[in-house]
Structure 1
Amino acid sequence: MPWVVGVSGASGTAYAAAVLRGLLAAGEAVDLVVSRAARLTLLDETGIPFRDGHWREDLREWLEQPVDSAKPQVGSLDGVRYWSAGDLAAGPSSGSYPARGMLVVPCSTASVAGIALGLSKDLLQRAASVTLKERRRLVVCVRETPLSGQTLRQLVALDDAGAVVLPASPGFYAGARSAQQLVDFVAGRVLDAAGVPHDLYRRWAGQLGTAGRERPDGTTPE
């Protein structure tokens, strides 16, 4: 029972890489869909092409590229199945295809609209529509700012349909000291919404500032 991971053309391919690493580290199977626009964004943000005929090599290079810290460690990619975004006859396009749910990360406003309206313009949108109709978990990690009223209405429609709308909004309370840690925080929240265990960020342990309680940096208030 794989998780379908859809990568749209929004900026933030590092978020998708962190989510994919987290899924693989948890032993989860992945069905990967990378939109045409996402390929352009990936090339622009990382310099890495994503080619159907070389997807495994390109995926490994992508997952092992650090944002600003040590090179991430990635094990076997045997749990990943890749589907071309133009393949509307692919497994995830059918409700009878077994899947646990779908994570769209990052999710562009164009993909938000396509999913909310049921346009099914490509496999990413079709798989997301199937996920909703089958009442499976759909997590939409929106990466855009500011948001127009039209997009906000579409996000409300997705929420009404049962999707989890999760903006790519990093939290700073976990003591992040690098861009990669902020990326991992968002990726961790995506995995939280999917119910997948991980250790990508430090969790909130209670209110700070009370005498005798340890702060996230390890110090204790007077």
Structure 2
Amino acid sequence: MNHQITPRVPWVVGITGASGTPYAAAVLRALLDAGEAIDLVVSKAARLTMLDETGLSFREARWRTDVKAFLGRDPGDMIVWKAADFAAGPASGTYPTRGMIIVPATTAVVAGVATGMSKDLIQRAADVTLKERRPLVLVPRETPLRRVALQQMADLAGEGAVILPASPGFYAGARDVQQLIDFVAGKVLDVIGVPHTLSERWSGRLGSGRTAES
């Protein structure tokens, strides 16, 4: 009998040092809820931001425990690669992935990807994603933006990347911060074609979104 093995094809998710690590948590949870495999890379700066914003640490030696605390759920089908590991799977175009999400993305990482610097695994994996014509989504949060950062984002968009600023919409009647975070995470999943129930969708009727009274 011929037993075919379905290959594991993950989404690569990079978390960098920009403010906004709760956006990363929301994206990761939604991908896992959709049954997607994940390869996670957390930069050194992101660990400091995560500690500041959530009070949680991230240690590669016990990453499963720390990711579970960060997400509030089991990591599921997840692999964690070291940001300094250039021999990691996502560093090669022969390693199959569905694409990559950098959330949140610092302007330094945007610059590194735009200029092909590949200073760490996040930048290298993004470079690979572009050259292999796979989906790449960058979620910058920093504001205001310098001209050079805008030019670099335009260059990346010209190569097929999606620049998705962490700009939540308010028309759905969000009642708390988590719903605003989920709105942005939902936009990320929309552009990569992964189904989710993170936010209500516009129906074309005024007052159809969530309100304080609903």
Q: TM-score range by the shorter chain?
A: over 0.9
Map 1:50-61 → 2, pairs under 5 A? 50-61=58-69
Cα pair 2:32 2:76 within 8 Å, conserved: no
Is residue 216 from structure 1 mapped to residue 209 from structure 2 by the alignment? yes
Deviations, residues 64-97 of structure 1 (Å, cap 9, x unaligned): 2xxxxxxxxx2x4230000010101100000000
Match of 1:199 among 191, 194, 197: 197
Q: Normalised by the size of structure 2, how large is the TM-score?
A: 0.93
Give the Cα separation in 2 of the matches to 1:217 and 1:180.
14
Q: Which residue of 2 aligns with 1:185?
A: 183
Q: Which residue of 1 aligns with 2:3?
A: none
Which deviates more from structure 2 when the two are superposed, residues 77-86 or residues 127-136? 77-86
Q: Which amino acid in the other structure matches residue 50 of structure 1?
A: F
Give the Cα separation in 1 of the matches to 2:18 and 2:45.
8
Q: Which residue of 2 aligns with 1:90?
A: 88
Match of 1:170 among 168, 171, 176: 168
| 2:172 match: secondary structure | coil
Q: Normalised by the size of structure 1, how large is the TM-score?
A: 0.89
Give the Cα separation in 1 of the matches to 2:121 and 2:40.
10
Give the Cα separation in 2 of the matches to 1:11 and 1:216.
28
Q: Which residue of 2 aligns with 1:23?
A: 31
* Alpha-carbon distance, 1:143 to partner: 0.9
Match of 1:44 among 27, 42, 52: 52
Give the Cα separation in 1 of the matches to 2:37 and 2:203.
31
* Alpha-carbon distance, 1:215 to partner: 2.8
Give the Cα separation in 2 of the matches to 1:106 and 1:135.
22
Cα pair 2:14 2:41 within 8 Å, conserved: yes
| 2:104 match: secondary structure | strand
Match of 2:116 among 115, 118, 121: 118
Cα pair 2:202 2:208 within 8 Å, conserved: no
Give the Cα separation in 1 of the matches to 2:113 and 2:210.
41
* Alpha-carbon distance, 1:207 to partner: 4.2
Q: Which amino acid in the other structure matches residue 49 of structure 1?
A: S
Give the Cα separation in 1 of the matches to 2:205 and 2:157.
30
Q: CA RMSD in A?
A: 1.3
Q: Which residue of 2 aligns with 1:138?
A: 136
Deviations, residues 187-221 of structure 1 (Å, cap 9, x unaligned): 0000111110000000111142xxxxx63248xxx
Could you list the runs of 5+ residues in structure 1 that have no partner in the other structure? 65-73, 209-213
Give the Cα separation in 1 of the matches to 2:114 and 2:91.
16
Q: Which amino acid in the other structure matches residue 59 of structure 2?
A: R
Q: Which residue of 2 aligns with 1:159?
A: 157
* Alpha-carbon distance, 1:146 to partner: 0.2
Is residue 4 from structure 1 mapped to residue 12 from structure 2 by the alignment? yes
How many corresponding residue pairs?
Answer: 204
Match of 2:77 among 73, 76, 79: 79
Q: Which amino acid in the other structure matches residue 85 of structure 1?
A: A
* Alpha-carbon distance, 1:47 to partner: 1.5
